[in-house]
Amino acid sequence: MDGFGLVAEYETSEDMFSRPTATLTGVRVLPLDEPRAPLSDEITALEHDFDRLGMTVAKNCYRQAVDNLVEQHFEAANGQLRAMFEAVVVHMATAHGFTTTQQGAGGAAIAYLIAEDLLPVTDSGNFVRALWQITHTNGPHPGTSYAGEAHFRLQAVTGAARYLIDRFTPAQ
**Percent of the chain at pLDDT exceeding 70:** 73
Q: What is the mean predicted confidence (pLDDT) over 142-169?
A: 86
CA distance 160 to 15: 24
Whole-number mean pLDDT of the chain? 81
Residue 158: band (very low, low, confident or very high) from pLDDT cuts 50, 70, 90: very high
CA atoms within 13 A on the CB side of 151: 22
pLDDT of 25 higher than 80:
no
How does DSSP assign 108-132, residue by residue?
HHHHHHHHTTSS-IIIIIHHHHHHH
**pLDDT per residue over 88-130, tens digit each?**
999 999 999 999 877 778 999 999 999 999 999 988 899 999 9
Residue 32: band (very low, low, confident or very high) from pLDDT cuts 50, 70, 90: low
3-class SS at 79?
helix
pTM value is: 0.74
For the chain, percent helix, then strand, then coil, each to nearest 5? 55, 15, 30
Planar angle of CA 84, 87, 88, nearest 5 degrees: 90
Residue 1: band (very low, low, confident or very high) from pLDDT cuts 50, 70, 90: very low
**pLDDT per residue over 38-62, tens digit each?**
555 556 788 889 999 999 999 999 9
